[in-house]
Amino acid sequence: MNRTYELMFIVRPDMAEEDQDKLISTLEAAVASSSGQVKNVERMGKRRLAYTVRKFHDGIYVLLTVEGGGGLIHELERRLRVTEPVIKFLTVRTDEEQKRLDKIKAIKDAKRKAAAPAPSPEPAGEAPAATA
């Protein structure tokens, strides 16, 4: 049931480092209180925005990877919305895409195994014979 989300948000470029830390730690506290988990925090640094947002041309990008339910995301988005320095945010659910990628990777690995070394299927064939 637990889902993985990526929460990317942009804060205004003139925000101090310690204020960012404070914001991130409050978000982390909010995640913890909703029995979620922060998997990763990535500061992507200052970037040029592709278009003007609230009269800003640059922004500091932060990416949070969060595990938890939909209620948690609702709460986090509410917090981001009321936080003044946050100028934009985006939440993307990633677990299903990740599942798809894992599946593709598993199929690929299986194919490679089947194509390259012969010994691995042989012992598997022997084992049932020995038990029988």
What CA–CA distance (Å, rounded) separates 13 from 56?
A: 8
Only segment of 17-25, 29-37, 70-78, 82-90 that touches other proteins (CB under 8 A):
82-90
The C-alpha atoms of residue 129 and residue 61 are separated, in whole angstroms, by: 59
For 125, the token pair is: 């064939």
DSSP-H helix ranges across 8-94: 17-33, 70-82
47 binds other proteins (CB under 8 A): yes
Residue 34 or 91 with smaller CB distance to other proteins: 91
Size of the site for other proteins (CB under 8 A): 19
CA pair distance 20, 75, nearest whole angstrom: 19
Nearest approach, Cβ of residue 102 and other proteins (Å): 10
Residues that bind other proteins (CB under 8 A): 8, 10, 47-51, 53, 59, 61, 63, 88-90, 92, 97, 101, 104-105
